[in-house]
Amino acid sequence: MNPNEFVDLSLAEFEKQLTKVINNFEKRLAIRFHKKLQLDADGNILKIPENLEYSTVVYNELMDELEKSGYYNVISALQAKDAELVKIISATSYIPLEFSQTGIETIEALRKAQMMAFRDIGEKSCMAVREALMKSILTGQSIEQVHRQIRKELEDRLQRYSITYALTSRQEVMQMIHDTGAQSTPPQERYWVYVGPRDDKTRPACNALLDIKYFSNEEREYYEAMYAGERAYNCRHIFMQITKDDFDKKLPIKEYD
């Protein structure tokens, strides 16, 4: 199995488990709101102080329910596969990778930073749910309308953003593994090939880098900085270290298709 295949399987499992989390979270919120909100005989949320006050303090409850729904467990399960990804990349790299203690610590630091980014997605999603609840109270919507609005917020924010960042995080980890594994080679002796799919989803920046394909370390740093904004999220491409001979010959190289 090559790294891309491993990552694709990991992401497919992440999406599957995330869907379960979203469904569980929605059910838990429905139960909680039925208990806490006061409704009229037709099931509409009453515009009363108690309901409005609840909307101002519900955020912490939302965060608690998100955790109990298994959101962070799903993320941890994805990140737990990093060690196996290191092994697969090391076994398939064009150049033997060597990992110093600093390199290992750098990968671990990236993992922690990514968890913080996932937490930020969770927090912002809970804030969006809180705001949707408050607006529903102010407009006297039915509890069923509230549930539909919350479902939309969870799908548009929590689910979509989490999937997007999961893909981004895998690319970041793969690139970090290659970069830390190349640290034993002096910068002026590092050469790179840009690899990844070229299809209707490929961005102009990545098409430009795929056209160039081969880079000295200095060239890589220049173009990477130039296209940093376009490659910040959902990029499916990485720089892989190659030998100077491969760089000079610029012959076709087997990639992870």
Query: What is the DSSP secondary-structure string of 56-107?
Result: HH-HHHHHHHHHHTTHHHHHHHHHTTHHHHHHHHHHH-SS-----HHHHHHH
Domain boundary among 123, 151, 181: 181
Whether the pLDDT of residue 252 is over 80: the answer is no
User: What is the model's pTM?
Assistant: 0.89
DSSP-derived secondary structure for 169-212: HHHHHHHHHHHHHTTTS-GGG-EEEEE---STT--HHHHHHHHH
CB 22 within 8 A of CB 160: no
Q: Do 149 and 231 lie in a common domain?
A: no
Residues 6+ apart with CB under 8 A from 164: 233, 234
Cα distances (Å, whole numbers) of residue 88 to 20, 84, 177, 187, 191: 29, 6, 11, 24, 21
Q: In the chain, how many domains are there?
A: 2
- pLDDT above 70 (res 37): yes
Q: 41-100 pLDDT, tens per residue? A: 999 999 999 999 999 999 999 999 999 999 999 999 999 999 999 999 999 888 888 888
Reference 184, options 248, 96, 253, 246; nearest CA is 96
What is the share, in percent, of the chain residues with pLDDT greater than 90?
Answer: 84
Q: Structural domain of residue 152, as residue ranges? A: 3-181
State the Cα–Cα distance between residues 221 and 120, nearest whole angstrom.
29
**Closest C-alpha among 108, 116, 106, 101 to residue 80:** 108
The answer to whether residue 73 is domain-embedded is yes
**Residue 257 is assigned to a structural domain of this protein:** no
Which pLDDT belongs to residue 99? Answer: 86
Same domain? 166 vs 199: no
Residue where one domain finishes, among candidates 136, 157, 181: 181
What are the residues whose beta carbons fall under 8 Å from the beta carbon of 175, sequence distance 6 or more? 238, 239
- Tell me 242's DSSP state: E
Yes or no: say if 94 and 246 are a contact pair by the CB < 8 Å rule. yes
Residues 173 and 216 in one domain: no
> Does 26 share its domain with 99?
yes
255 in a structural domain: no
238-242 and 191-195 beta bridge pairing: antiparallel
The phi, psi pair for 73, rounded to 5°, reads -65, -40
How high is the pLDDT of residue 184? 87
Q: Is residue 256 part of a domain?
A: no
Final residue in a domain of this structure, among 141, 158, 181: 181
* pLDDT tier, 257 (very low <50, low <70, confident <90, very high otherwise): very low
Give the residue from 228, 221, 223 showing the smallest Cα distance to 211: 223
Q: Check whether residue 134 and residue 51 sit in a common domain.
A: yes
pLDDT at 41: 93
Spatial distance between the Cα atoms of 64 and 189, rounded to a whole number of angstroms: 50
Residue 195, phi then psi, degrees to nearest 5: -130, 155
**How many CA atoms lie within 13 Å of 9's alpha carbon, on the beta-carbon side?**
10
93's tokens: 């790299």
Residue 19, exposed/middle/buried by CB under 10 A (0-12, 13-18, 19+)? middle
Q: Same domain, yes or no, for 159 and 195?
A: no
